[in-house]
Every structure is written in structure tokens, then in C-alpha cells.
Amino acid sequence: MSRKNSDYVKIEGSLRWESIWYLAKRELLAYVRNKSRIITSIAQSLLFLFVFGAGFSQIPISIEGKLISSTAFVASGIAAMAVLFSGVFGGLGIIRDKLFGFMNELLVAPVTRRTLMLGKTLGVALQTLVQFMIITVLSAALGYYGYDLLLIVRIIATIPVGLLFSLGVVGIGMTVSTQISDFQGFGLIQTFLIMPMFWLSGALFAFNTVPLPMQVIMMINPISYGVDIFRFILLGVSFFPFWLDLLVLAVFGAVLISIGAYSFNRMEIS
């Protein structure tokens, strides 16, 4: 084998970090340039904040024996909702690339599919993190978490946790999008997968106020631990231990990214 061919095989069998960053940057720029998507996502989140914040404003919420503001409780849940919806629907980018032929060009590039998948995943995760931070900062500016200097530190502390949470959620979107070839089919996922995960995550109601069967479902739902860890950082209270939230999110991310990578490797382009 010639030296040139040897180098090519070496490239094919290893990760190309510059390619990963290029794909991630492409996804992030596509999000930033899509003003309608940003406005729509922010408007949806604000609608949830105002409607549910007002609806639950008179309901006392106690966590670990500590009464907390219902509006703060709902706001932290809406931030988690932004991660869930943005992360999963980021998978639409793969369907778009398949339909318009860009995926064909990527697959013939001298990089592994694992490199392509990691680049797409990182890009959508960064999109999700940006949207999460926009909603969190807006909630803080509107006074949902009160006003104190430590709030800035707490918001900054949510960044690495938000990125970890988004990786698992993006893995869901990647897995689904590699198996579906049209936007209509992807839309069904919202009805049968995403909405149940959201409503049964404790984002809008307290874990200790629902019947035992629902509590069991919420404990099985990994999104519940993302919601809980945001509340721990922003409000200082949580239903589960911090280490358990972190462990579940880490395992959730690792498993879903692995499944997404497997699906991406087996993806066929017609």
C-alpha cells in the first residue's frame, strides 16, 4: 500500500476534530441565522411562562420542607422544556440534509461516520444550550428567580449541566431522524414521545403532589432528572440528590449518543 493510501486509511479510521468543529459550527450558524426559529421558540417559552406561571401562582409548593415560589418552580421547568424541544427537533437537520443532498456529500467525504455524527450532535447541542440560556436569562430578568448577585453565578453554573442534558436529548433526535425520511413522520414524534416525556417530567407540577404510579413513571423518565438538577442549581432545592441527577444525565447522554451513532452508521440514503 502506498504512503498516500496509508494516510487516507488513517484518516478514515480516526476522528477528525477539525471536521467535528466545522459541522458543529455549521449547525450553530444555521440556528443563529434562522431568526424565525429563534423568535418562535422564545415566544413559545414565554407563553408557557406567563400562562402556567399565572395559573400556578396561588398553589403553594414545598420541596424538602421549604416553600418556594411557584413562578420560580415553573420557570425552571420551562428552561428544561426548551432543552427537550430544541434538542429533539434539532434532528430535523439530518432529514433536511438527506432531502437536499448535503448528506450524500458528507458521506463521501474522507471522514468516518462517527466524526459526522459527533459534529452534528455537538452542533445541535450548542444550539440547544443557546436557547436554554436565552430562556433562563429572560426568566431571571423578569424576576422569576428573585434578584441577587449569586443568581448570576447560579445561571453560569447551569451551562455545563445544560450541555450534558442536551447531549442525551439530541441523541433522541439523531436516532429518530436517521430512521425517518420526511418531516411529517418526524412531527408524529412530538405527539407520541416528546409531549409525554415533558408532561411526566415534573416540569410544571411537583413530584410529591402526584399519585404514586405517576411518581414511578417520573422516576423512570430521564427528563425528570434534568428538570430536577436545574431546580437544584437555580432554586437550591430538589426532589432527588444532586449526584443522582448528574449520574442519570451522564448515563442518559452516553446511552443515547451511542444509540444515535449506531443508527447513523446504519443510515441509508436513497
Distance, in Å, from the CA atom of 62 to the CA atom of 73, rounded to the nearest integer, reads: 10
Distance, in Å, from the CA atom of 101 to the CA atom of 95, rounded to the nearest integer, reads: 10
Rounded to 5 degrees, φ, ψ at 66 are -115, 125
Give the helix/strand (H/E) hosting 195.
helix 195-199
- pTM of this structure: 0.83
For residue range 138-162, list pLDDT tens digits in order.
888 888 887 888 889 999 999 999 9
Q: Identify how many contiguous H helices and E strands the chain contains and give both numbers.
A: 13, 2
For residue range 89-131, list pLDDT tens digits in order.
777 777 777 777 667 777 777 777 778 888 888 888 888 888 8
Mean of per-residue pLDDT scores for the chain: 80
Q: Which residues contact 151 (CB under 8 A, 6 or more apart)?
A: 140, 145
**15, 117 in Cβ contact below 8 A?**
no
